[in-house]
Amino acid sequence: MSLQVSELRVHYRTLRGDVRALDGMSFELKDGEILGLVGESGCGKSTLGKSLIRMDGRMRHVGGRVVLDGRELPISDDRAMNEVRFKEVSLIPQYAMSALNPTRKIRKMVGELLRSRGAEPDTAELERRMDQVGLPREVLDRYPIELSGGMKQRMVMVISTLLDPSLLIADEVTSALDVSTQKAVARALLGFRESGYVRSMIFVTHDIALTHHIADTIMVMYAGRLAEKAPADVIVKAPRHPYTKLLLDALPEVGVRYAERRLEGIAGSPPSLLNPPAGCRFRDRCPVAGDECAEDPPVVALAPDHHVACWKA
């Protein structure tokens, strides 16, 4: 087992009370597995990604454990986490376009960052990895402003994985890219796993179609909780949770004209996480909800790799 998350609860402190962004998440990630984490905005997927590497000032770890390679991560202790960051857990942030210091040449920045973590910069290795993602070597002697968006994105990917972390969190890395660049990024991430630069990966996104191509497993989150987790093919072809089904139905299909039929979204909006209602959180929008949904649905294993939190599944 590479990563085990059990009953993780992370809240945002606000003036009006705690926002329960993660409310008892449990899942496992095997060695070498790529987990696609999908869900709509505000479902807690970015919060989960951040919790595993660096919580920001408003986040509070309320309960639950995170164990990576048999060692518990001190996720609420910013200082103790420093040792783990970059070496064990690394991040490709959502804001890769602005993640590089604008007043340092990239070679110098990478060198300073590595040395600050007690690692000697290895130019040959760095250049080999840049070749792999198709970055010209002279990029190292440029300032970030001189690179295009896609180049910055790839540069950040190379930098984040330089110390061969066990777990890589890729947070919405394709959101700001056009389709052809998305493909290149997805392929590069798969290449990183093949070359052993990263062992396993959590790929946070709201793009199910893209996730399907690179992830082994897809985990669907809803309102701070796990809705369904299954191998990518199963999620796409045989989803069991009503939310997953509606999410897939909301996607346009290639080659289908939507002249007769309007593309359906999911009616309603997710509940406020400030004071979430008791019971299943999808109840209000769920077409098959019944009386038993007034109670919290437990996460059950329908198959060895297929977990669903729904009474009706």
Residue 14 in contact with other proteins, rule: CB under 8 A: no
Binder of other proteins out of 90, 153, 205, 211 (CB under 8 A): 90
Binder of other proteins out of 16, 41, 116, 194 (CB under 8 A): 116
Stretch that binds other proteins, among 17-25, 77-85, 205-213, 293-301 (CB under 8 A): 77-85
Residue reference for tokens 């993602």? 133
Contact set for other proteins, span 31-70 (CB under 8 A): 53-54, 56
CA atoms within 13 A of residue 188's CA, in its CB half-sphere: 27
Residues 6+ apart with CB under 8 A from 252: 258, 263
Which CB sits closer to other proteins, 138 or 194? 138
Least separation in angstroms between CB 200 and other proteins: 18
Q: How many residues bind other proteins (CB under 8 A)?
A: 34
Residue 146 in contact with other proteins, rule: CB under 8 A: yes
Least separation in angstroms between CB 135 and other proteins: 13
Secondary structure class of 215 (helix, strand, coil)? coil
Binder of other proteins out of 16, 70, 103, 194 (CB under 8 A): 103
Stretch that binds other proteins, among 3-11, 100-108, 225-233, 277-285 (CB under 8 A): 100-108
67 forms bridges with which residues in the sheet? Answer: 4, 72
Contact present, 202 and 168 (Cβ < 8 Å): yes
Helices (H) and strands (E) counted in the chain, each on its own, are 9, 12
SS3 string of 251-269?
Answer: CCCCCCCCCCCCCCCCCCC
Instruction: State how far the Cα of 112 lies from the Cα of 33, in Å rounded to an integer.
Output: 31
Residue 108 in contact with other proteins, rule: CB under 8 A: no
Residue 125 in contact with other proteins, rule: CB under 8 A: no
